[in-house]
Structure 1
């Protein structure tokens, strides 16, 4: 039952937060209309598609891990009971934020719209402020040494090249 509630809560939060931030707001800015490509190079559009294609599955996977492994949601009102350190979390501490920004920047490059690049940069700054001021202190308090080990080994924004593996707990069998 707890997993079911976590999955439903994560799905609801997904429909609200990333869908609005990386869907509704970019649409309201661009109306999905193409402008001339950056640097007058059609190839830049492929870069945008790659960023979107990389961000979307990572976003979905990370939300799923919060529900199925963390037994909670990414929303602060229903946080995970377990620290999630698998999947993309082995490479970067904040894959949801990275994925959302990648999707938005990808849309900006795809549509040739600098306004989305500015929006993506401002959103990343807001994410950074939230992570530093609220999220990291709360996670440190909630998960103690386990989070400190994770934080010491996995970068906040720029992914590692190799996956980090948490040391097995003495209690694990």
Structure 2
């Protein structure tokens, strides 16, 4: 194997930094520049939907991590993948952990009634795609070749 294949896709674990930064940004903007929210009864429905989305996001993240560990490969974006994982939540999304993190931020926006969290979740997803997902995809394509390219045709990047 070449050095580039043995090396992880990134030297920095961007996703935790990006999503934590987006959450902090959401909090700061919610207090500094509060935006109006939808009134009742729709706000009550969105509040309940937010809790359901948060539960689904946490479950998705937990299942994805469990699937990676069961396959004896890394969860860390800074380490090289040992195995190509295409089962469990990875059969539906190539990035269920990042999708779960974005959904969790979006859920916080629904629960708290903060438009800023909704926007921060979308921004975090875009930044994560550029800083983490695209390098990971190049790494996996180089490491697993046709198997990964075939998987890309079956499972979407996000959902």
Normalised TM-score (structure 2): 0.75
Distance in 2 between the 1:146 and 1:54 partners?
29
Which position in structure 2 is the counterpart of 1:163? none
- Aligned Cα RMSD in Å? 3.0
How many angstroms does 1:26 deviate by? 5.1
Please state if 1:87 is matched with 2:88.
yes
Q: Compute the TM-score of the two structures, normalised by the length of structure 1.
A: 0.69
Higher relative contact order by CA 8 Å / sep ≥ 6: 1 or 2? 2
The gaps in structure 1 that reach 5 residues or longer are 1-12, 159-173
Q: Structure 1 residue 39 and structure 2 residue 14: aligned? A: no
| In 2: Cα distance, 1:21 partner to 1:132 partner | 14
Q: 1:22: Cα distance to partner?
A: 5.8
Once residues 153 and 138 of structure 2 are traced to their aligned partners in structure 1, the CA distance between those partners, rounded to angstroms, is: 14
CA distance in 2, matches of 1:28, 1:43: 21
Q: Deviations over 1:113-154 (max 9, x none)?
A: 111112111101012213553111111001111101100111
Unmatched 5+ residue regions in structure 2? 1-12
Which of 19, 22, 33 lines up with 1:21 in the alignment? 19
- After TM superposition, give the deviation of residue 36 of structure 1 in Å: 9.8
Q: How does 1:47-62 map to 2 (within 5 A)?
A: 47-62=49-64
- Count of residue pairs brought into register by the alignment: 140
